[in-house]
Chain A
Amino acid sequence: GAVVSQHPSWVICKSGTSVKIECRSLDFQATTMFWYRQFPKQSLMLMATSNEGSKATYEQGVEKDKFLINHASLTLSTLTVTSAHPEDSSFYICRGLAGGPTDTQYFGPGTRLTVL
């Protein structure tokens, strides 16, 4: 079946540094990528939606200058957490979608970010 990969799976960084998370759709073209964050024992919170070649649309309360999203190709989207702080520590998950709501869509395995 279709697979979405994320890299890295776990990253630890110092406060103030930037971290880039990659999301790749391996055998389908993801026209839309969604980025979520998930705190322990909580549901997924949508951060932003990006369509290939367009600027991302951010959800209310999500700082676009802090969470930079790039969707340069149909198989790659990146999320960069700039000047990370301990409160940014979370589980970040991407979801790739090809077409409508019942078309091919898969979540990535997630990236655990720990900011010290």
Chain B
Amino acid sequence: QKEVEQDPGPLSVPEGAIVSLNCTYSNSAFQYFMWYRQYSRKGPELLMYTYSSGNKEDGRFTAQVDKSSKYISLFIRDSQPSDSATYLCAMISQGAQKLVFGQGTRLTINP
């Protein structure tokens, strides 16, 4: 079993829809949870990170962490074609340096 599971998609939704991206994990030691966006043939860029459980909002993006269920989500409201990319979840334990990545979900927002 992988430490982090993420549905690779592809996921295709119409413009303006609410997008929900999710990851599950098995290592209860993970404390920091990140979401990265990667455009084709580019390096990943950090969208949001959350420490422990709870919600965090930044503009159209909301990150949720439920440590009891070992489940994290990224919501994108009012999705735009420019949001079309691969979204990678990543997580790390306290004191560790190595990020553990999910497989990435390919998202396409159709105009």
Residues of A at the B interface (CB closer than 8 Å) are 4, 6, 32, 34, 41-44, 46, 49, 91, 93, 97, 101-102, 105-110, 112
Residues of B at the A interface (CB closer than 8 Å) are 8, 32, 36, 41-46, 49, 51, 88, 92, 96-99, 101-104, 106
Query: For chain B, what secondary structure do more than half of its interface residues adopt (helix, strand, loop), or is it mixed?
Result: loop
Q: A44-B88, A44-B101, A49-B97 are in contact. Are A102 and B42 (CB under 8 A)?
A: no
The 7 closest A-B pairs by CB, nearest first: A107-B43, A109-B43, A43-B103, A110-B43, A101-B92, A43-B101, A107-B44
CB distance from B82 to the nearest CB of A (A): 18
Is there an interface contact between B101 and A109, defined as CB atoms closer than 8 Å? no
Q: A49-B97, A101-B92, A106-B46 are in contact. Are A43 and B41 (CB under 8 A)?
A: no
Enumerate chain A residues within 8 angstroms of B46, measured Cβ to Cβ: 105-106
Is there an interface contact between A110 and B42, defined as CB atoms closer than 8 Å? yes
Is there an interface contact between A109 and B106, defined as CB atoms closer than 8 Å? no
Is there an interface contact between B41 and A44, defined as CB atoms closer than 8 Å? no
